[in-house]
Amino acid sequence: MPAELFDSAACALAVTAEDGTILQANTRFGEWLGFSTTELCGRRFQDLLTMGGRIFHQTHLAPMLRMRGNVTEVKLDMLHRDGQKVTVLLNGTQRKQADGAVYDLALFGTTDRDKYERELLNARNFAEALLQEKTATELALKQAQAELSEAYAIAQRRALFAEQMVAIVSHDLKNPLTAIRMASDFLSRGERTAKERQLLGHIGQSSERAQRMIADLLDFTQARVGQGITIKAAPLDLHGVTRRAVDELRVAFPNAILDHYVEGRGVANLDADRVQQIIGNLVANSVAYGDLQRPISITSRLGSDLCEVSVHNHGAVIPPALLLGLFEPMTRGTDQGSDVRSVGLGLYIVRELARVHGGDVAVTSTAQDGTTFSVRFLPVGHTEV
């Protein structure tokens, strides 16, 4: 849409990111709410709603846009800058882009529509044509309500499933897993035959893998139905944190060759545990799909405008058709079997952890250069030393 047509449209128009951040808004949108377009850009759309509107957005509107790709004539209450309520009808569609998805929103005032509907009800006994129109409107409304109820039921089932996963993980898995690890560690301290030490090593590796799966399930539930994944950022030595993570992963994956490379120097403002979790998930993915006869390279980079961790392997090329959805939950890059593969949440967790740090994750995969996952953090988190 040309810029002048967008800005001069008779309705309010906005383009938002997946998290609701307003990327573009026209003049009428700003006039309705008492803000300039500059003030609107960067705000989250849901923060402009009333409390009831925010709850509706979180439980209905946002899930419907993600699942169906569009919504039609959703009634919302927004807040003017002076605190007055502004009621609007919202139409929204999802638009896929190379780096994700955006939502195109169109908002219409309800004053004229409400007046027209009242006049239509008053004239229903005088015109058969108007009666048919009213009937059609009622049918469309019932259909919309049925679809909304279905979407709400799906959301409820997903929330219940997530809560059940949390209960299973926290109460039925963590405690016995801890007991298994403690018993394995105790047994490994005594004199053991080579076969027994090998079996104890397998138990330890399996326990580590189970712990990673539990952590991914907990983070997945928190990201989907909780308040989102949280971090505790603090100044840290990115190279040192990466080195310690790689040392631990060498023990967890003894059959893999893990090489750590460093570029630049400085201090980054990140969550050390979450950075190690990112590296662990990416390395586990490389072990699952990469060529273990060749090294897996882990590189930590720091610069004046760069704070990044990347993991490279020489595995099979990821098909282009799978690249777009690779970071969605329960998604895998191949149908191959693997003993070290988790529940398909690792890359999704990596993306969410990168975003909560203010960054994002990218992947390249070619037959010549192999596969590289790069997690770039917010540059302002870095300071030179």
Q: In the chain, how many domains are there? A: 3
Q: List the CATH number of the domain containing 66.
A: 3.30.450.20
Confidence at residue 165, expressed as pLDDT on a 0 to 100 scale? 64
Please state which of the ranges 14-23, 49-58, 199-208, 320-329 shows the lowest mean pLDDT.
199-208
- Of 319 and 252, the structure prediction assigns the larger pLDDT to 319
CA distances from 330 to 110, 190, 377 (A): 41, 41, 24
Confidence at residue 385, expressed as pLDDT on a 0 to 100 scale? 39
Residue 148 · residue 72 · CB < 8 Å: no
**What sign has the CA pseudo-torsion 365, 369, 370, 375?**
negative
What is the DSSP code (8-state) at residue 231?
A: -
Residue 383 has pLDDT above 60, yes or no: no
Confidence at residue 248, expressed as pLDDT on a 0 to 100 scale? 87
Residues 376 and 257 in one domain: yes
Residue 107 · residue 32 · CB < 8 Å: yes
Q: Answer whether residue 192 is part of any domain.
A: yes
- Per-residue pLDDT, averaged over 195-221, amounts to 71
- Per-residue pLDDT, averaged over 63-73, amounts to 91
- Mutual orientation of helices 346-356 and 194-225 as an angle, nearest 10°? 50
Q: Over the stretch 98-128, which tens digit does the pLDDT of each residue have?
A: 888 999 999 998 776 666 667 777 766 676 7
**End of a domain among 200, 225, 250?**
225
Q: Answer whether residue 139 is part of any domain.
A: no
Confidence at residue 222, expressed as pLDDT on a 0 to 100 scale? 63
Residues 164 and 68 in one domain: no
Distance in angstroms (rounded) separating the CA atoms of residues 66 and 62? 6
Residue 335 has pLDDT above 70, yes or no: no
Residue 129 has pLDDT above 90, yes or no: no
- Of 62 and 212, the structure prediction assigns the larger pLDDT to 62
Instruction: Say what percent of the chain tops pLDDT 70.
Output: 80
**End of a domain among 68, 100, 122?**
122
Q: Answer whether residue 149 is part of any domain.
A: no
Q: Domain containing 379: what range?
A: 234-383
- Contacts from 243-251 at CB under 8 Å and sequence distance 24+? 244/276, 245/275, 245/276, 245/279, 245/280, 245/298, 246/279, 246/283, 246/298, 248/276, 248/280, 249/279, 249/280, 249/283
Confidence at residue 230, expressed as pLDDT on a 0 to 100 scale? 77
Q: Over the stretch 229-282, which tens digit does the pLDDT of each residue have?
A: 778 889 999 999 999 999 989 988 889 999 999 999 888 999 998 899 899 999
- The pLDDT-based confidence of 380 (bands split at 50, 70, 90) is very low
Residues 189 and 244 in one domain: no
Q: Over the stretch 278-300, which tens digit does the pLDDT of each residue have?
A: 999 999 999 989 999 999 999 99
Residues 371 and 246 in one domain: yes
Mean pLDDT rounded to a whole number for the chain: 83
Residues 43 and 179 in one domain: no
- The pLDDT-based confidence of 384 (bands split at 50, 70, 90) is very low
CA torsion 202→207→213→218, rounded to 10°?
180
Selection from 71, 92, 91 nearest residue 144 by Cα = 71
Residues 59 and 84 in one domain: yes
What is the DSSP code (8-state) at residue 340?
A: T
Residue 211 has pLDDT above 80, yes or no: no
Q: Over the stretch 135-146, which tens digit does the pLDDT of each residue have?
A: 888 888 889 999
Q: Over the stretch 72-95, which tens digit does the pLDDT of each residue have?
A: 989 999 999 999 999 899 999 999
- Of 178 and 355, the structure prediction assigns the larger pLDDT to 355
Length of the chain in terms of residues written: 385
Residues 87 and 169 in one domain: no
Helical (H) or strand (E) element with 12? strand 12-17
Pairing state of beta strands 267-270 and 234-236?
antiparallel
Q: Answer whether residue 128 is part of any domain.
A: no
> Within a 10 A sphere around the Cβ of 199, how many other Cβ atoms?
14
Residues 262 and 306 in one domain: yes
**End of a domain among 70, 98, 122?**
122
pTM: 0.49
Residues 373 and 247 in one domain: yes
Identity at 335, one-letter amino acid code = D
- The pLDDT-based confidence of 173 (bands split at 50, 70, 90) is low
Residues 261 and 330 in one domain: yes
- Per-residue pLDDT, averaged over 364-378, amounts to 93
Q: Answer whether residue 136 is part of any domain.
A: no
Q: Answer whether residue 138 is part of any domain.
A: no
- Of 209 and 310, the structure prediction assigns the larger pLDDT to 310
Selection from 71, 74, 116, 91 nearest residue 12 by Cα = 91
Q: Answer whether residue 132 is part of any domain.
A: no
> Within a 10 A sphere around the Cβ of 320, how many other Cβ atoms?
8
Q: Answer whether residue 84 is part of any domain.
A: yes
Residues 94 and 200 in one domain: no
Residues 178 and 91 in one domain: no
Distance in angstroms (rounded) separating the CA atoms of residues 378 and 98? 20
- Of 20 and 213, the structure prediction assigns the larger pLDDT to 20
